[in-house]
Amino acid sequence: MEVVIRPTEQDAAELTARFIAAGIRKKPKLVLGLATGRTMESVYERLVRMHNEEALDFSLVETFNLDEYIGLSPKHPQSYRHYMDHHLFDHVNIDPRNTNLPRGDAKDIDAECAAYEALIRERGGIGLQVLGVGRSGHIGFNEPLSAMQSRTRAKALTPETLRQNSPLFDKPGDIPRRAITMGVGTILEAKECILLAVGDEKADVIAKAVEGPVTSMISASALQLHPSCHVIVDEAAAANLQNKEYYRWIFENEPDWDEFR
């Protein structure tokens, strides 16, 4: 795991977007894993700008999103399909047939999960997986006690996750209680991961995920086991980290970050 601390939320989002763009330019047929949530909106805004101003080409990219609420159709305004269309897909030259999300309104949820997992394998796995982290330490909707080798499946959401996400619904009580999510094991099989976390409300969970023990209680801590995982945080989210000076040194001195400085 590699941690990069940027001064502000905007700097952290900019670096994340530039990292994703560099991955697409290096491999135009990149299989890209995507996340949703408020933190990601500024990343997608920047990717759209790069498409418009720098000719960032999504035409051969294929995407797989981490999760979707069970019970919501793709056209529901709070579905993650709608989120992705609104924030990214409708504004770049990606082929809609290459944008994959699990169907939250599938009649057979278990079959949908198995088919989604199989499609990821068929495409050769995720090349670059973009991640956020919830306050309970979850990546995707892998809530506490998610198995480290778990695969795409249905998962009950914790009260904390429901409290965090329900304000996004017109009627907070309408938020689904379950979701389809890629498993921790599925995520760990991505060739490369990049996690973005900003704000002081993420400081505690980032410290646990990055510097604490690997535990199923904090599914993001499993990323410590990944051979190529980059954690991008702003100063606020880094507040509780013990090795901040070393992490700053990495960004300033490691050759892999030369093109981003």
CA distance 12 to 6: 5
Task: Give the CATH number of the domain where residue 188 resides.
Answer: 3.40.50.1360
Query: How confident is the model over 151-201, as pLDDT tens digits?
Result: 999 999 999 899 989 988 888 889 999 999 999 999 999 999 999 999 999
Q: pLDDT tens-digit profile of 194-230?
A: 999 999 999 999 999 999 999 999 999 999 999 999 9
Is the backbone of residue 12 left (phi > 0), alpha (psi -120 to 50) or beta? alpha
Angle subtended by helix axes 9-26 and 38-54, to nearest 10? 50
d(CA 196, CA 49): 19
The pLDDT mean for the chain works out to 97
Residues in the chain, total = 261
**Residues 6 or more apart in contact with residue 52 via CB below 8 angstroms:** none
Under the banding of pLDDT at 50, 70 and 90, the label for residue 4 is very high
Domain containing 209: what range?
A: 2-260
- pTM for the model stands at 0.96
> Above pLDDT 90, what percent of the chain?
93
* Per-residue pLDDT tens over the stretch 37-71: 999 999 999 999 999 999 999 999 999 999 999 99
Give the chain's end-to-end CA distance (angstroms, integer): 19
Closest listed residue to residue 130, CA positions, set 29, 235, 30, 234: 30
Distance of CA 32 to the CA centre of its chain: 10
- Secondary structure element (H or E) that encloses residue 214, with its range: none
Domain count, the chain: 1
Whole-number Å distance between alpha carbons of 185 and 203: 25
